Structure 1
C-alpha cells in the first residue's frame, strides 16, 4: 500500500467524524412526548419535500371521487385538527386503492386509502387512524427518519474508510455492518415512531370527543384482517398484540381526557356514507 493511501483514508475518516459530531451537536430537538430527537433538516425543507411528493402522488394515483366519502373523512379529520394545536392548512385525500393503509407526509399532508375505510369502519376508528397520521407529522418523524438514515450512511462510509486494506474494503464486514445498521438502528427507530404516534393519536382522538376505546377495536380489526404478520424484531411496525397492549396501558388517562371533552360539548357528528 502506498504512503499516500493511508493519509487519504485518514483524511476521509477525519472528515466524516467531524461532520457527524457537528450534526449531532446541532440536531437535537424534543418530541411532543418529551423524547429527545436527532433532526438534521429544517421543518421548511421537510415540508417542501412532503408537499412536492404529495402533489406528485395526486397526479400519479387515482383519487376516490366520491363526495360523501371525502366529506366523511374530512369531517373526522377536521375534528382532530381542531384540537391538535398545529397551525397551518392540512390536506387530506382519499385514494382509490383497496389497501388498508394511510400515510402522512411533512407539510401537513395525509392520504387515506379506500381500503382502510373497511377496517376503520366507524368514525372513532377512522379518527384513530388519522390521529396516528397527524402525530407522525407533529412529532417530526419524517425528519428523524431521514436524518437517521443519512447519519447511518455517513457512519458506514466512515467504517469503510477505516476498514480499507490493500485489496480494498472487506465486503463481508461491510455487509455485516449494513445488516447491523438496519436491524440495530433503523428498524427499531421506526417502531419507536409508530408507538409514539399511537399514543399521541390516542390523546388527540380523546380530546376531539371520539371514544378512545375504539382504537383497540381498530387494531383488533387489523389483526383479524391481516394475512400474516412479520416477525416484530425485523419489522418497521410493532406487532398487533404489542400495539393493543400499549393502548390498553394508556387507556385510563385517555378515558379521563375523553370524559373531559364530552363535558366541554365535543361530540363529532360525522356519518359514514
Structure 2
C-alpha cells in the first residue's frame, strides 16, 4: 500500500529527528583545554574521534611536506627557519597551561617558501609557516609569536575536530534514511569528515576569537609582547587589499577583532611582565 502524500513528509520529519538524536547520542561533550587567564572554557560536542582526526592530520602533513621537498620549497631560508623554530621552542612549553598532554605531542615546525600570507597548525602539533607571511608583513618576533600562538591555539582547542563533527551531524540529518538504515558506515564517514575538518571547512568566528585569546596568552607566557597581536592584524588588514588571505576567511570584523585583542592583551600583560623578569 502506498503512503499518502500527507503522511510521508511527517514520517521524514520523524526520521530526521531520530537520525539527529542518534548522531547526537554518539557525540561526546569534552573540555579540550583549561580556561587559562583568558577564560576560554566552552565545552564542545565531538562526533569524530580525536584519533581519527590526528591520523588524518599526520597523513596530510606528510603529504604537504613531501610535496614541498619535491618542489624545493621546504626550509629554504635558514634565517626564517631559525626564527620560526626558536619561537616555537618558547611557545610549545606554555601549551601545558591549557592542556598538559600537548607538551608530549610530536611537534614539527617547517617553513614553506610561498608568497602566500598564511600559517597553520594541524592536530598533534604539525606547524607550517609560509615565507610570504614573514616577508610581506615584515613581522617582528612578537608578531610572529602572535600568529603561531593563534594557530597552536586552534590545535589545542581541537577546532578542526569540532568542525568535522558539526559537518558530520549536519550531513547525517540531511541523509536521514542512510543514517538510520545504514549506520555501519559511520566509521568511514568519520574519517571522511575528519579530513574535511582539516582541509575543507573554514574556521568559525567563535573559533577565531578563541584562538586569538588563547594565542596571546601563550605568547605572553613565552615572553612575547601580547600587544603585538594588535599590530599584526592591522598589518594583515593593510596588506590584504584585493588579495585573498586565508587568515581572513570567516573571521571577525577588523574592528571587533582589534577591540577584543586590545582588551585581552591587557588581561595577560602581567604574564608577559613576569616572563620578562
Tell me the TM-score normalised to structure 1 length: 0.76
Show the counterpart of 1:60: 67
Mean CA deviation greater in 96-105 or 29-38: 29-38
Relative to structure 1, is the Cα distance of residues 4 and 59 closer, same or farther in structure 2, using a 3 angstrom cutoff? Answer: farther
Show the counterpart of 1:95: 112
Does residue 78 (structure 1) correspond to residue 89 (structure 2)? The answer is yes
Counterpart secondary structure, 2:74: coil
What is the aligned residue count?
235
* Whole-angstrom CA distance in 2 between matches of 1:64 and 1:216: 28
Does residue 226 (structure 1) correspond to residue 227 (structure 2)? The answer is no
Please give the per-residue CA displacement for 1:14-57, whole angstroms capped at 9, x wherever unaligned.
55533422432432112431112121122111111001001111
* Whole-angstrom CA distance in 2 between matches of 1:35 and 1:229: 34
8 Å contact kept, 1:46–1:107: no
> Greater CA radius of gyration, 1 or 2?
1
* Whole-angstrom CA distance in 2 between matches of 1:82 and 1:140: 18
* Whole-angstrom CA distance in 1 between matches of 2:130 and 2:120: 9
* Whole-angstrom CA distance in 2 between matches of 1:214 and 1:41: 35
Please give the per-residue CA displacement for 1:157-211, whole angstroms capped at 9, x wherever unaligned.
349x9xxxxxxxxxxxxxxxxxxxxxxxx87x71110110000000000000001
Cα deviation for residue 135 of structure 1 reads 0.2
Show the counterpart of 1:40: 47
* Whole-angstrom CA distance in 2 between matches of 1:235 and 1:258: 29
RMSD value, Cα: 3.0
Please give the per-residue CA displacement for 1:55-102, whole angstroms capped at 9, x wherever unaligned.
111122332322232121100011000111122221111111111111
Relative to structure 1, is the Cα distance of residues 64 and 6 closer, same or farther in structure 2, using a 3 angstrom cutoff? Answer: farther
Does residue 143 (structure 1) correspond to residue 161 (structure 2)? The answer is yes
8 Å contact kept, 1:64–1:96: yes
Show the counterpart of 2:205: 191
Cα deviation for residue 108 of structure 1 reads 1.5
8 Å contact kept, 1:64–1:114: no
Cα deviation for residue 251 of structure 1 reads 2.1
* Whole-angstrom CA distance in 1 between matches of 2:19 and 2:264: 40
Mean CA deviation greater in 101-110 or 15-24: 15-24
Alignment of 1:162-173 (within 5 A): none
Tell me the TM-score normalised to structure 2 length: 0.75
Cα deviation for residue 6 of structure 1 reads 8.6
Does residue 240 (structure 1) correspond to residue 240 (structure 2)? The answer is no
* Whole-angstrom CA distance in 2 between matches of 1:151 and 1:246: 31
* Whole-angstrom CA distance in 2 between matches of 1:195 and 1:115: 24
Counterpart secondary structure, 1:84: helix
Show the counterpart of 2:269: 255
* Whole-angstrom CA distance in 1 between matches of 2:7 and 2:56: 38
Of 223, 234, 251, the residue aligned with 1:209 is 223
Flag structure 2 segments of 5+ consecutive residues without an equivalent. Answer: 34-39, 97-101, 180-200
